[in-house]
Each structure stands twice: as C-alpha cells, then as structure tokens.
C-alpha cells in the first residue's frame, strides 16, 4: 500500500527521537520504502513519511504518519511541539556509539516533561554493526526494564525488527484506545480517538534519506 491509498481505518502519528546519527532516517526509510538508503544527510529540523500497513493482531489497516526529527539540541523545541501532536514515540540509540545510549536519560527527561503517558518503545539501532557494538544488549534491556519499555534491536540496513517494532507500537496504541473507548459509557460504535484533531473511524516520497 502507498501513501495515496485511502483504504485505511486509523491514522496513527509517531515521532522518532534520539541523538543525531543513530540512524532514524534510514530506519524510517526501510519501513516505508522497504530498502536501505545508502546516501545519508542529517535531517534538518524534521521530515515525515507515511505508510499504510495491516496490523496482524487487531486486523486493522493503519496509516502511520511518522515524523523523523533532528537529534541536535538546537531542535529540541521542535521535538517538544511534536509531542503534542503524536500518539506514539520511538526512542532510538546506536548500539555502536555508547554516547547515544548514555544520552537516553536526557531524552527520557524530555519525554516525561512533554510527552508523559504517550506509548513509547526503545530501539537499539544498527545491529548490522555487531562487530563494532559498544552497548551490550543486556544494558539496553536493563534500561528498558527500568523505564517500563519494550526494546527492539534493529537495523535500517538489513531490515531486522523494523516492521516488527512499528507493528508493536501500533498494536499498543490501538489497544489503549480501545480500552479508553470501551470505558466511555457515552462512546458510540467503533471509533478510535487517535488524533487530537480528528476522530477516525472506517474509511476515513520524499527523496532517499
């Protein structure tokens, strides 16, 4: 399915955050285009891509609109604004760069301040660079456990765990919104208040990197 396909049931907006250079753009490009983008330039400010995919557990066609943010500190204000418009956050570090893992605490502080209670997953990216690994998987798992997160180790280059991670956070958001809808005695029919701007019910490329 492509971005122009209107046969989706729910729109889910996500944002990918993390230090510059952790592979956010290639991870997103792999998910949307299904291939690795060899050329790479740092994202300036933010960019977004969309993809429609079927969530196998909930059997729902979802359109993911995913914002790819710059990791530099000067763009933190953009990230803060995006937190107000998304339903899920993907926090990423590079398993071959320990400093990107060490900086996760600062990103979590930002999330707790501006994006608290938004579904969140942790991505340890670039596992295709296993020979250069600087962050043991156990370390990532411990951080995830301490912050009640699900960890995926992924690779935008090979595609390992890219689709799986998007499906996981999509299912998590759907489940949370179903729960909220079912607990609302005034709710009518099958509707999911996913976006702050719109209530969605049924039937409602940029260059490489």
133 domain-assigned? yes
The residues, ordered by sequence, that sit 6+ positions from 87 with a Cβ below 8 Å of its Cβ are 12, 13, 14, 118, 119, 173, 194, 195
pLDDT tens-digit profile, the chain (209 residues): 444 455 899 999 999 999 989 999 999 999 999 988 875 555 555 678 999 999 999 999 999 999 988 766 666 776 777 888 899 999 999 999 999 999 999 999 989 988 888 999 999 999 999 999 999 999 999 999 999 999 999 999 999 999 999 999 999 999 998 876 665 544 333 334 444 333 333 333 444 44
For 12, phi and psi rounded to 5 degrees?
Answer: -120, 125
136 domain-assigned? yes
Dihedral of CA 160/118/206/96: which sign?
negative
Longest dimension (CA), the chain: 55
* Exposure class string for 94-128: b at 16+ Cβ within 10 A, else e: bbbbeebbebbeebbebbeeebeebbbbbbbbbbb
144 domain-assigned? yes
Which domain range does residue 111 map to? 10-183
The structural domain count of the chain equals: 1
83 domain-assigned? yes
How high is the pLDDT of residue 198?
35
Q: Which two tokens stand for residue 173?
A: 């958001």
194 domain-assigned? no
Question: For the domain that residue 163 is a member of, what is the CATH number?
Answer: 3.40.50.300
How high is the pLDDT of residue 1?
41
The residues, ordered by sequence, that sit 6+ positions from 163 with a Cβ below 8 Å of its Cβ are 31, 53
CA torsion, ordered 78, 32, 135, 42, to nearest 10 deg? -50
200 domain-assigned? no
């Amino acid at each position: 399915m492509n971005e122009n396909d209107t046969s989706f049931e729910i729109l889910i907006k996500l944002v990918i955050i993390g230090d510059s250079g952790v592979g956010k753009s290639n991870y997103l490009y792999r998910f949307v285009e299904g291939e690795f983008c060899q050329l790479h330039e740092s994202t300036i400010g933010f960019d977004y891509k969309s993809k429609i995919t079927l969530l196998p557990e909930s059997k729902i066609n979802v359109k993911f609109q995913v914002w790819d943010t710059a990791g530099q500190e000067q763009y933190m204000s953009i990230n803060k604004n995006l937190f107000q418009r998304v339903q899920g956050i993907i926090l990423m570090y590079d398993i071959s760069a320990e400093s990107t893992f060490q900086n996760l605490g600062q990103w979590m502080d930002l999330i707790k301040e501006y994006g608290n209670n938004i579904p969140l997953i942790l991505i340890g990216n670039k596992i295709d660079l296993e020979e250069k690994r600087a962050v043991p998987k156990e370390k990532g798992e411990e951080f995830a456990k301490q912050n009640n997160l699900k960890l995926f180790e992924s690779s935008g280059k090979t595609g390992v765990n890219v689709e799986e991670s998007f499906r996981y956070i999509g299912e998590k958001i759907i489940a949370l919104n179903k729960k909220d809808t079912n607990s609302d005695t005034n709710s009518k029919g099958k509707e999911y208040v996913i976006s702050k701007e719109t209530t969605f019910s049924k039937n409602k490329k940029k260059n490489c990197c």
